[in-house]
């Protein structure tokens, strides 16, 4: 069995059933039954048209279930309208499935799980392992999401921005277990980019590629975090960087700037610098200005304060930081870094230790603890 082929066909088959009138939950069950039949029969007798075969078998399974369910007699009028078996349309219906899985009635976590299940073709077990939750918990989450969207019809344009937010959430989960969610998010975003002509889709794909290109250099052999300025740039994936820059340039040329394009432009400037010291911080500040105008996001302004400190000095960065809410995530860590750059090592060490207690994950906490220890040991009196 070609697992990659199965995963690429599954969203289209599911969409065909939904377009024919099956509700999402019943359609997904029918597609899974068809996949079981494929596993049994394809190795010995592969079909000439795999997608057409899956559509035919899944539709029959759906009709069988409809006939058996007396609570769904209203569907009986459609039972005899089964389309004749034959080659399935080559039209990519996956785009509508993206919109369904990113429906605004779903919570972000449910939308992500449903997207990975229905569009990504991952099993419930794989998704549960990626999110480090019990399989039963993830199964319940996906079941609730399917019930929520079961009555949704494809009668209005989907919201591309919502789909992009869901894919960005998938990417930011990174990877764990046997599923690399960052790579999966890139694959799904490529698929979306092939289905819809939208500069922000291209912007998100470029952003993912540029960030992912630095992945190998982000951690030391012992698993500790390596800050951007200290990363071995020889370990960055230059092919992914070049591809990300090309995609970004084409998107920016359309003069329809969005937040993902602006974020990708910042990432591209980091990627373009041969060394940390050669980073064009002035231009990065300008892009943060654009991003702040587009989003009015306080976290963007926090990151801008760091860029200002690099462009104009730590005092300028601290002045920017003073205008922001000190309860923002990572505000204390940024304050520690800027005070260290300004030469106030005592304050920096105290703030690093304080930031460690607020860190969202173990790797970041350990990094901040090491920063505090480094400063404390550097000016500790000799014995």
Mean of per-residue pLDDT scores for the chain: 86
What pLDDT is attached to residue 156?
57
What pLDDT is attached to residue 76?
45
What pLDDT is attached to residue 315?
97
pTM: 0.76
Statement: residue 166 has pLDDT above 90: no
Statement: residue 248 has pLDDT above 60: yes
Q: Could you count the other beta carbons within 10 Å of the beta carbon of residue 117?
A: 24
Statement: residue 382 has pLDDT above 60: no
Q: How far is CA 212 from CA 235, 238, 354, 376, in A?
A: 12, 11, 30, 34
Question: What's the count of helices (H) and strands (E) in the chain, helices before strands?
Answer: 19, 2
330 or 65: which carries more pLDDT confidence? 330
What sign for the dihedral angle of Cα 214, 216, 220, 223?
Answer: positive
What pLDDT is attached to residue 22?
86
Average the pLDDT over each of 59-63, 150-154, 192-196, 341-345 and give the range with the smallest value. 150-154
Of residues 101, 90, 117, 105, the one with CA closest to residue 16: 90
Cα angle at 316 between 311 and 320, to 5 degrees?
110
Q: Which pLDDT tens digit goes with each residue over 46-100?
A: 899 999 999 999 999 998 888 776 444 544 444 444 444 544 444 346 677 888 8
Burial of 275 (0-12, 13-18, 19+ CB in 10 A): exposed
Span 159-167, mean pLDDT? Answer: 86
Q: Could you count the other beta carbons within 10 Å of the beta carbon of residue 21?
A: 14
- Among 31-35, 116-120, 180-184, 202-206, top mean pLDDT goes to 202-206
What pLDDT is attached to residue 174?
61
What DSSP line would sit under 346-368, residue for residue?
A: HHHHHHHHHHHHH-SSHHHHHHH
Span 96-108, mean pLDDT? Answer: 83
Q: What kind and span of H or E run contains 28?
A: helix 24-41
What pLDDT is attached to residue 379?
56
């Amino acid at each position: 069995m070609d697992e990659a082929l199965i995963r690429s066909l599954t969203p289209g088959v599911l969409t065909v059933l939904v377009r024919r009138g099956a509700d999402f939950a019943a359609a997904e069950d029918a597609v899974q039954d068809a996949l079981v039949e494929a596993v049994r029969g394809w190795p010995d007798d592969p079909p000439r048209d795999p997608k057409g075969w899956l559509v035919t078998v899944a539709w029959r399974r759906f009709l069988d279930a409809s006939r058996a369910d007396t609570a769904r007699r209203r569907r009986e009028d459609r039972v005899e309208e089964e389309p004749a078996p034959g080659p399935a349309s080559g039209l990519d219906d996956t785009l509508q499935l993206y919109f369904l899985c990113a429906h605004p009635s779903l919570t972000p976590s449910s939308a992500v799980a449903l997207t990975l299940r229905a569009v990504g073709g991952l099993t419930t077990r794989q998704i549960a392992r990626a999110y480090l939750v019990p399989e039963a918990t993830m199964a319940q989450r996906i079941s609730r999401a399917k019930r929520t969207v079961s009555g949704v019809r494809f009668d209005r344009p989907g919201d591309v921005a919502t789909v992009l937010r869901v894919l960005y959430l998938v990417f930011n989960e990174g990877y764990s277990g046997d599923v690399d969610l960052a790579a999966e998010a890139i694959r799904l975003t490529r698929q979306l980019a092939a289905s819809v002509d939208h500069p922000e889709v291209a912007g998100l794909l470029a952003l993912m590629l540029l960030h992912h290109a630095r992945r190998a250099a982000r951690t030391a052999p012992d698993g500790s975090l390596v800050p951007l300025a200290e990363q071995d740039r020889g370990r960055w994936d230059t092919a992914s960087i070049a591809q990300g820059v090309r995609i970004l340039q084409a998107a920016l040329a359309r003069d329809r700037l969005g937040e993902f394009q602006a974020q990708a432009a910042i990432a591209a400037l980091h990627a373009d610098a041969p060394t940390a010291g050669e980073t064009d911080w002035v231009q990065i500040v300008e892009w943060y200005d654009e991003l702040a105008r587009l989003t009015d996001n306080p976290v963007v302004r926090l990151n801008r304060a760091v860029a200002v400190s690099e462009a104009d000095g730590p005092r300028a960065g601290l002045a920017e930081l003073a205008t922001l809410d000190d309860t923002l995530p990572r505000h204390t860590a940024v304050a520690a870094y800027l005070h260290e750059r300004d030469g106030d090592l005592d304050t920096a060490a105290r703030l690093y230790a304080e930031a460690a207690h607020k860190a969202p994950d173990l790797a970041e906490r350990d990094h901040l603890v090491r920063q505090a220890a480094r400063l404390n040991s550097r000016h500790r009196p000799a014995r």
